Amino acid sequence: MADQTETQQGWLTEEDIATVRGRVPIVYVEAVPVRVDDHGEVTRIGLLLRAMPDGTISRSVVSGRVLFGERLRDALIRNIEKDLGSLALPKIPVDPAPCTVVEYFPDSDVSGYTDPRQHAVSLVYVVPVEGICEPSQITLDIAWLTPTEADSPEVRAEMTSGQDRLLRVALAHAGCLP
């Protein structure tokens, strides 16, 4: 007997995603784009400027959903290209492992990571990029900052939804927390 399971891939309609977001956690990947020197040391962190789910314009990292049937590696590449352009040239290992996992909730008191639309589980990666990065789609700008600049109170104040905390975890993971 043939398997009758629906396996159609692709984006959900706005109505479908709203229904799903109200009932189950959504899986995301987030990438902190970095530039590294010849020794693999992080020299710059790429922070995006864009409209966030909470309605603010803020600094953030690359973020996006994992599609049904999509490998995490492929989701990372797709979302990096969506935010940084097709010439970003991310260097993703064959079998990537996240540096941390965060949960976003509509209620900011639950975890400190907020997304007013949903409960989301996000796998966070530090990803070296070697190519040309240009704002694309909803990204308004990309700033390449030193680790010290990225961790400054001024830059952290430009981040919402817990992105400042996520950035500090990623910086610590990369060994470059000032």
In three-state secondary structure terms, 139 is strand
Residue 56 makes CB contacts below 8 A (sequence gap 6+) with: 160
- What whole-number distance in Å separates Cα of residue 112 and Cα of residue 71? 28
Q: What is the pLDDT of residue 178?
A: 66
The pLDDT tens digits of the residues spanning 72-99 come to 999 999 999 999 999 999 999 888 999 9
Which has the higher per-residue pLDDT, 1 or 141? 141
Residue 13's pLDDT is 86
Helices (H), 55-146: 72-84, 108-111
Query: Which of 83, 124, 147, 170 minimizes the C-alpha distance to 155?
Result: 147
Q: What is the pLDDT of residue 148?
A: 96
C-alpha–C-alpha distance, residues 117 and 26, integer Å: 10
pLDDT digit string (tens) for 64-73?
Answer: 999 989 999 9
pTM for this predicted structure: 0.87
Q: Which residue has the tokens 């690359």?
A: 62
Query: Cβ(102)–Cβ(61) under 8 Å?
Result: no
How far apart (Å, rounded) are the C-alpha atoms in residues 107 and 120? 12
Q: Which residues pair with 27 in a beta bridge?
A: 121
pLDDT tens digits for 103-125? 999 998 999 999 988 999 999 99
More confident residue, 135 or 126: 126
DSSP code, position 137: T
pLDDT confidence band for 2 (50 / 70 / 90): very low
Q: Predicted confidence band at 12 (pLDDT cuts at 50, 70, 90)?
A: confident
- pLDDT the model gives residue 3: 45
Instruction: Render pLDDT for 37-72 as a digit per residue (tens, 0 to 9).
Output: 999 999 999 999 998 766 778 999 999 999 989 999
- Looking at the domain that runs over 24-173, which CATH code has it been given? 3.90.79.10
